[in-house]
Amino acid sequence: MKNDLNVDQIKKLWILDLIIQSGSLKGAAARAKVSPSAISQSLTALEKNVGKSLIIRDRGSIQPTQDALTILEVVRPAFEVFERLSDLGSQPIPQMTWLNFGTYESIAVEILPSLIHRLRERMPQLKLGLRISRTDQLLTMVRKGELCSALVTEVDGLEKFYSVPICEDRLGVYVSKHHPIAQHGWKAVAQFGLGSLAPGKDGLPRYYQKFMRKIDAAKPTVLSESFETLRAATISGAIASVLPTGVAQRTDELLEITPESVDPKLGRHKIFVVSQTNCDKEEADFLAAESKRLLKNRILIS
C-alpha cells in the first residue's frame, strides 16, 4: 500500500473482507451497520490507495480479484485474533454434556454451521440436539420439557418463559433481481402471485398479520411453512414473496419492492431465546450470547 498502515486502512480492509464474505455491498453494510454507500466509498478509497481493482462486479454479483485474495490472506489472521479477543468478555460456557434446543429453519441454516464449529473447538465432547419447527410448536416443546431452550420469533405469551432478546428483523416483499419479474415493480404481485408463510394452528403472528393488511396485496397464491422454500421460489423468478429481511439479504439475488407507503417499522419483530423459568438459565444465556454473535448481520438490539 502506498502509505503506512493505519487504523483507517485496517477498517477498510475489514470492510473488504465483509464484502467478500457477504457476497454483496448491501450484505456488508448490514454487518458493519453502515449504509451501502459508505461501504462503496470505503472500497473505492481502498482501491485508490492500493492502486488496483479489488472487486469484479458482474450482473449483480461480486467476485474478489486475485489482488484482493492476496491482501486478505495476509490480514485475515489478524481479524481472527481480534475475534478471539472479543470472546474474552463473552458469556462463559456452562458445564454441560448436551445442548438440546430448537429453532425454525431460516435461523438454523444461518447459525448451525458456525455454532457446531465453535462448540467443537471449545467443548469437543459436547453433544448437540436440534429440533426444527414453527414458533408455536417450539414453545409447546419447551413448555413440556422436550426442549431446554429455543430460538423463536416474537409472539404473544412469551412472558410465561425466561426469554432473552437476540436481534430484530423486519418483513418485506421481494422479487428476483435477475428475472423479468423485477421489471414489474409492485405490479409483480398481481401478475406473478405472492408467496407467504402459511398460518400455524394459532394463525400468523400479530406483526405478520398487520404487515399483510397494510400492503393490501391480493390473497397469497403460495403458502409455505418454510421461508427457505419461499426464498428459493422467489430467487427463481416464479413469484414475489413476503420474507424477513435477514433471510432475503443472505445473498444479493433479491430486490425489495415493498410500497413506500408502508412504514419501515411495520413488520419489525424480535427474535428471542426462551426456556422454562425453572430451567438452568446459564444454558439459555450461553445460547443467547452465541446466537447474538452469529446473527450480527441482522439488526441487533442494544
Alpha helices in the chain (DSSP H): 7-22, 25-32, 36-50, 66-87, 105-122, 135-144, 187-192, 206-215, 227-235, 245-248, 281-294
Average pLDDT over the chain, rounded to an integer: 83
Q: Which residue has the higher pLDDT, 44 or 21?
A: 44
pLDDT tens profile 107-127: 888 888 888 877 777 777 888
Q: Which residue has the higher pLDDT, 148 or 75?
A: 148
pTM of the entire structure? 0.68
Contacts of 37 (CB under 8 A, 6+ apart): none
pLDDT value at position 298?
61
Identify the band that residue 60 occupies on the pLDDT scale cut at 50, 70 and 90. low
pLDDT tens profile 159-179: 999 999 998 899 999 999 999
pLDDT tens profile 267-295: 899 999 999 887 778 888 888 888 888 88
Q: DSSP characters for 34-58?
A: S-HHHHHHHHHHHHHHHTS--EEEE
Lowest mean pLDDT across 111-115, 235-239, 296-300: 296-300
